[in-house]
Structure 1
Amino acid sequence: MRLLLLSFLCLVTTQNFDLSQIRNQYKEAANDSTKVEAFYNSLQSVSKKDNVALVAYKGAAIALKARKAKTIREKKDGFIEGVSLIEYTIEKEPNAIEPRFIRLGIQENAPKILGYNNHIDSDKAFLLKQFKHIRASNLKSHIKDYILQSKVFTDEEKNVISTQ
C-alpha cells in the first residue's frame, strides 16, 4: 500500500513539460514583462536532474524575473542565480544548441555593467554552424526569429539563415 501511495505521489508531482510550449513562453516573456511571472512559475519544479534545455529555460526565467526585483542586490542575485543555471547546462552538455541559444539571448540583452557578454561570439558562431542540423522545427523557427531580429548578427549572416 505504501509503495502504491508513493508511486501515485510521484506521478502526481511529476510534470510533463512541452518544450515547444516552454519555447513560446520564453519568447513571450522576453518580449513582454507581464508574462515573465507565468513563465517563471511554469518552471518551478525543474531541477538540475531534468533535460538541459528545461534547466536553461529555468535559468532564463530567473534572470528575466530579476529585472523586476525591487533592489539592486535582488536584481543582481537573481541574475547570477539564473545565469548560473544556464552555465551549468552548457558545462553539462556543451554541444546542446538550446542552452547556447538561451545564453546568447540573455547575454545580448543583459546590461553591460553586469559583464555577462564573454560568450557572445562563440555562441553566435555555434548557432550559425549548427542551425542547419536542428531537427525540431519549433526550435529552428525560434532560433531563426531570434537571429533575424538580433543586433549581434550581420545582415549577411541573417540572409544565410533566412534561406534555410
Structure 2
Amino acid sequence: MKFLMVLISAISINILSIDINTVRKAYKEAAHDHNKIETFNNLLLKITKKDKAALVAYKGAAIALLAKQEKKIKDKKALFIEGVSYVEHAIEKSSNNIEVRFVRLGIQENTPKLLKYKDNIEEDKRFILKHFKGITSLNLKRYIKDYILQSKAFSDEEKTVISSQ
C-alpha cells in the first residue's frame, strides 16, 4: 500500500510539472502571435512566486503580454505592473539565472518607452553575453541565441560572437 501511494505521488508530481521547453516555445509563439497569448498564459496559471525563478519570470511575461490585449489604458497598466512584479521577483530570487535575465531583457526591449521599463537592458545584455558560453542546456542556448540574432539590442559584432558559439 505504501509503495502504491509513493508511485501515485510521483506520477502526479510529473503530471503537474511544467516542461520548460514547452514554456519557452509558447513564449516565443505568444510574442509573435497575439492569438497565442492566452494559451501561453493558461500554461502558467498555477505558477506562483514560490516556484522556480524561470517559470516565475515566464508567468510575468505572460501577464505582460496579456496587458497588450486590454482595451482600457488603466487595465493595460495594471496588468503590465503585475507582470513586471513577477519578473522582478524572479530576478531578486535568482539574479544569476541567465534565463530570468533573458526574459526581462526581452520584455524591456519590446516595451513602449511610455511604460518606462527599459532600465536594465544593458545590464542584462552584458550578463547574457558574459555567461552565454557557460549555458549547458543546448535547448536554452539555441533559444537565447535565436533571440539575440534578431534583437535590435545587440550589435552586429555581438551577434557574430554569439553565432560562433
Alignment TM-score > 0.5, same fold: yes
Q: Deviations over 1:58-83 (max 9, x none)?
A: 00000001100110011001000001
Partner of 1:109: 110
Structure 2 residue identity aligned to 1:116: Y
**Structure 2 residue 46 is matched with structure 1 residue 48:** no
Q: How does 1:65-84 map to 2 (within 5 A)?
A: 65-84=66-85
Compute the displacement of 1:108 (Å). 0.3
User: How big is each residue's C-alpha offset from its partner over 1:86-131, in whole Å with a ceiling of 9 and x where there is no partner?
Assistant: 0001011110111100000000000100000000000000000010
The SS at the match of 1:41 is helix
- 1:1-164 → structure 2 map (5 Å cutoff): 11=12, 15-164=16-165
Deviation at 1:15, TM superposition (A): 1.5
Q: Percent identity?
A: 57
Partner Cα separation in structure 1 for residue 144 and residue 164 of structure 2? 13
Instruction: Flag structure 2 segments of 5+ consecutive residues without an equivalent.
Output: none
TM-score w.r.t. structure 2 length? 0.91
d(CA) in 2 for partners of 1:90, 1:116: 14
Amino acid of the structure 2 residue aligned with 1:121: E
Unpaired stretches in structure 1, ≥5 consecutive residues: none
Q: Give the match's secondary structure for 2:35.
A: helix
- Displacement after TM superposition at 1:135 (Å): 0.7
- Cα deviation, 1:23-53, whole Å, max 9, x if unaligned, reads 0000010111110000000100001111100
Counterpart of 1:67 in 2: which secondary structure? helix
Write the distance in 1 (CA, Å) between the matches of 2:146 and 2:69: 25
2:76 alignment partner AA = K
Q: Following the alignment from structure 1 to structure 2, what is the Cα–Cα distance between the partners of residues 65 and 30?
A: 10
State the secondary structure of the residue aligned to 1:46.
coil
* Partner AA of 1:54 in structure 2: L
* CA RMSD between the two structures: 1.8
